[in-house]
Structure formats: structure tokens, C-alpha cells
């Protein structure tokens, strides 16, 4: 009589242990999360594009031809005159100078004296920038103000070499890069401490993800300070427990985990045959038949010659044509059941021996039939 209650208690404990052992398995998919830092960025915290026009000197005869590139000639004359050299003469025929466009991106919060990388590209008929040096070039912003000045020796990845009959070109020798080649001369007035609210912008806009980001921030702070404005913007108010500590709030928010959501989408590049399908792509019940008609024609002409010492015969070419028609009769009609997952769709189409080119046509036909619950994007 006393053994049954003990057995019942042991059985109940075993059932509870088994139930608790299944809990991590049920929660496993929820662990696939991303940081807010990886899926969104704070509004106004961005880089600024800079552009400038300059001259590259020191080229080994691979620069612009001054008779063809008038802007290079006038720029060279103007630079020399500013240095006190009178060069207005028709005898100016150097080939060691090239006019270039200089581009750079000034990062957010760049301070005066910081260095940034610059890219240099030719404008005229220069064939290579190898060995060239960029002269002092002001870099302007969208407001036509000078924010940086670039100068230095170029690093060119490509090269060109050749002779009278053949030329070899590797890479792009008409573009170059100068690491830390520009010095910031003017700062952008931007103070994060004065902001009472911030805005997060999702890199992949989605209403569900925006709502989850707001919920994650509110759960961490313990106050309803975040709310989604649309599918790509979340407004975050600076709480009272972060007085003047906007950077600290941004750091805490960036590290919060969020489960992202995405639209079912199929991306197709017909030029290269690349197909990318999202995880949520679903196919309803549909039948697929695929086959190609292949006609192969082979010409094997034969030469017919007359008998030896024949006076009437002559040598002729007799055509021989072999035609083969392959209708791929071994291809069968395949039925894909409803709610087919991405893996099942790929396995089924691979079993039919379908290549990427035919797969593109099949996916477009499935979408036209209304059996694909996904968006098709053609690149």
C-alpha cells in the first residue's frame, strides 16, 4: 500500500522533468535574433559626400593630350600662373598631367585635422594614373563649402602595358586611391546632447520589425518612449533617467536583440541566371511539366572520286546530314502539394533536372498561375 504513492510521486517527477526538458526546444527558434545596431541606424548620424576637381602630375607619358583636353590645358596654365610661371604658349605639349575628379566621404562627427580616404578618377584621355601625385585639391560639399583638402601619391591597382601590335590592361589604371589623403578643414556643427528625441531608420523597412523594435526598447527602459511612425522609422524619446546622455542611450539601444521579419520575395537575375528565394516563400498546389525540344543537325560530307585512269569521272563532294530530335520524353508532369516549403520546392525542381534558366521561367509561370505566395523581383 505504501509503494503505490511513492511510485506515483516518482512518475509525476519524471513527467515534470521530461516537460521541462522540452522547453528549450520550443524556445529554440526565438534565439535567432539580430541586434538593433545591425538592422537600423540613427537618423542624422551619417556621412557627407565631398567632390573636387584637381590635377595629377608625374605621369610617365600616360596623361591627357592637351590638344584634346582643353580643360586640362587651362587648369595647368592657371595653376602655373598662380605660382608665378607664365606658360601661355602653344608649345605646351606635356603628357605627364591629367585632370581628375576627386571624391570622398566625410564621416559623421569628423573633427578638424582628421584624415579621410579619397578616390581619384580621370576625366580626359589619360591612359594610366600609375606613379602620379595629386596636387592640392579642395573638396566641396553639397552647399559648395570647402570641408577638406586632398593631396598625395596615388595607389593604382590596375596597369597597362603594350607594344606596337598588342596591349595588355589589367584592372582599371585610370582610377586610384589615396589612403588618408585628405585633411578635414571644416566641421559640421552637430551636438547629440541637445536632442530630446531620436529616430531609428530600418535598413529593410517592415511594419512588424518596426513594432518589435519599439517593444524591445520600451521593455528595456521600462517606459513607453519608443513608437513606430511607419514601416521604417521608430521615434525614441530621451527618458528622464538619461539626462544629457544621448550617446549612452544610443549605445544601450543598439545592443538590444530583435527578431526581424521579412516579406516573402524571389529575386531573379535573368542575365546571370541567379535566383535567390526567401525563407517565407510558399507554393500552393500546382502541377509542373518541363521539357525542351532539341534538334541536333550534324554535317559529315564525303568525297567521291572516280576510278583510276577514268576520263569521264570527276571528284565531287557528297553531303551527308544526320538529324536527331530529342523531345525529352522522359520528363514527367510533377505535382507540388499545397504549402510547399522552400526546401521542398528546391528538392522537387532539382529532381526534375531543371537548370537555373528553366527554373526562372517556371517560377514566373507559377506566379502567373497565382500559386506562389511571394513577390518576384527581376533585376
> pLDDT digit string (tens) for 179-231?
999 999 998 877 777 788 889 999 999 999 999 999 999 999 999 999 999 99
Q: Number of folded domains in the chain?
A: 3
- Identify the three-state secondary structure at position 148: strand
pLDDT grade for 369, boundaries at 50, 70 and 90: confident
Answer yes or no: is 104 within a domain.
yes
Residues 171 and 283 in one domain: no
* Nearest Cα residue to 171 out of 159, 189, 184: 159
User: Cell 585628405 belongs to which residue?
Assistant: 182
> Residue 15 has what pLDDT?
33
Quote the Cα angle for 53-57-60, to 5°. Answer: 135
Is 181 in contact with 152 (CB distance < 8 Å)? yes
Average pLDDT over residues 102-120: 94
Residues 252 and 153 in one domain: no
Residues 234 and 144 in one domain: no
Residue 84: Cβ-neighbour burial (10 angstroms; 0-12, 13-18, 19+): exposed
Check pLDDT > 80 for residue 174. yes
Number of Cβ atoms within 10 Å of the Cβ of 91: 5
The boundaries of the domain holding residue 244 are: 192-258
Answer yes or no: is 129 within a domain.
yes
**What gap in Å lies between CA 161 and CA 169, rounded to an integer?**
6
Answer yes or no: is 294 within a domain.
yes
Residue 18: Cβ-neighbour burial (10 angstroms; 0-12, 13-18, 19+): exposed
> Residue 225 has what pLDDT?
93
Average pLDDT over residues 357-379: 80
Answer yes or no: is 33 within a domain.
no
Domain boundary, last residue among 184, 209, 239? 184
Answer yes or no: is 214 within a domain.
yes
Domain boundary, last residue among 184, 204, 227? 184
Answer yes or no: is 346 within a domain.
yes
> Residue 112 has what pLDDT?
92
> Residue 323 has what pLDDT?
59
Please state, rounded to an integer, the average pLDDT across all residues of the chain.
79
> Residue 120 has what pLDDT?
96
Residues 63 and 148 in one domain: yes
Residues with Cβ < 8 Å from 210, sequence gap 6 or more? 202, 228, 230, 231, 232, 233, 234
Answer yes or no: is 348 within a domain.
yes
Average pLDDT over residues 321-327: 58
- Least confident span in 60-74, 150-164, 267-281, 329-343: 329-343
Domain boundary, last residue among 218, 239, 258? 258
Answer yes or no: is 20 within a domain.
no
Residues 247 and 270 in one domain: no
Residues 52 and 178 in one domain: yes
Is 306 in contact with 348 (CB distance < 8 Å)? no
Determine phi and psi for 199, rounding to 5 degrees. Answer: -130, 130
Residues 152 and 198 in one domain: no
Query: 104: which strand partners?
Result: 50, 118
**What gap in Å lies between CA 307 and CA 314, rounded to an integer?**
9
Average pLDDT over residues 299-318: 70
DSSP string spanning 240-303? TTSTT-HHHHHHHHHT-EE------EEEEETTTTEEEE-TT-EE-SEEE-----EEEEEE--EE
Average pLDDT over residues 312-341: 62
Higher pLDDT, 50 or 168: 50
pLDDT grade for 49, boundaries at 50, 70 and 90: very high
Higher pLDDT, 92 or 248: 248
> Residue 200 has what pLDDT?
93
> Residue 243 has what pLDDT?
78
Check pLDDT > 60 for residue 233. yes
Residues 178 and 79 in one domain: yes
Q: What b/e readout covers 257-290, taking b as 16+ CB neighbours within 10 angstroms?
A: ebebeeeeebebeeeeeebebeeebebeebebeb
Higher pLDDT, 253 or 306: 253
Amino acid at each position: 500500500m505504501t509503494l503505490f504513492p511513492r511510485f506515483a510521486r516518482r512518475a509525476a517527477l519524471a513527467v515534470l522533468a521530461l516537460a521541462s526538458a522540452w522547453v528549450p526546444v520550443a524556445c529554440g527558434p526565438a534565439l535567432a535574433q539580430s541586434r538593433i545596431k545591425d538592422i537600423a541606424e540613427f537618423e542624422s548620424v551619417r556621412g557627407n559626400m565631398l567632390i573636387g576637381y584637381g590635377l595629377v602630375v608625374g605621369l610617365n607619358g600616360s596623361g591627357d593630350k592637351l590638344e584634346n583636353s582643353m580643360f586640362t590645358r587651362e587648369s595647368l596654365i592657371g595653376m602655373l600662373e598662380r605660382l608665378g610661371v607664365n606658360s601661355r604658349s602653344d608649345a605646351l605639349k606635356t603628357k605627364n598631367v591629367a585632370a581628375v575628379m576627386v571624391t570622398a566621404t566625410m564621416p559623421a562627427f569628423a573633427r578638424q585635422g582628421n584624415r579621410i580616404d579619397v578616390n581619384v578618377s580621370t576625366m580626359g584621355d589619360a591612359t594610366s594614373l600609375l606613379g602620379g601625385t595629386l596636387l592640392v585639391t579642395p573638396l566641396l560639399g553639397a552647399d559648395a563649402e570647402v570641408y577638406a583638402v586632398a593631396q598625395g601619391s596615388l595607389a593604382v591597382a590596375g596597369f597597362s602595358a603594350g607594344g606596337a601590335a598588342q596591349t595588355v590592361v589589367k584592372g582599371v589604371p585610370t582610377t586610384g586611391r589615396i589612403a588618408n589623403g585628405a585633411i578635414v578643414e571644416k566641421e559640421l556643427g552637430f551636438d547629440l546632447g541637445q536632442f530630446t528625441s531620436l529616430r531609428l531608420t530600418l535598413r529593410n523597412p517592415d511594419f512588424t520589425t518596426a513594432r518589435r523594435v519599439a517593444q524591445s526598447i520600451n521593455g528595456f527602459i521600462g517606459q513607453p518612449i519608443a513608437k513606430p511612425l511607419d514601416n521604417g522609422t521608430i521615434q525614441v524619446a530621451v527618458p528622464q533617467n538619461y539626462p544629457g546622455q544621448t550617446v549612452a542611450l544610443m549605445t544601450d539601444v543598439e545592443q538590444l536583440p530583435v527578431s526581424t521579419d521579412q516579406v516573402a520575395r524571389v529575386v531573379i537575375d535573368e542575365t546571370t541566371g541567379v535566383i535567390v528565394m526567401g525563407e517565407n516563400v510558399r507554393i500552393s498546389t500546382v502541377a509542373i511539366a518541363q521539357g525542351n525540344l532539341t534538334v541536333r543537325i550534324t554535317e559529315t560530307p564525303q568525297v567521291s572520286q572516280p576510278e583510276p585512269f577514268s576520263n569521264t569521272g570527276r571528284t565531287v563532294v557528297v553531303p551527308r546530314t544526320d538529324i536527331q530530335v530529342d523531345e525529352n520524353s522522359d520528363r514527367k508532369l510533377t505535382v507540388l502539394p499545397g504549402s510547399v516549403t522552400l526546401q521542398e520546392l528546391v528538392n522537387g525542381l532539382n529532381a526534375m533536372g531543371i537548370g537555373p534558366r528553366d527554373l526562372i521561367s517556371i517560377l514566373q509561370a507559377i506566379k502567373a498561375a497565382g500559386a506562389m505566395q511571394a513577390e518576384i523581383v527581376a533585376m
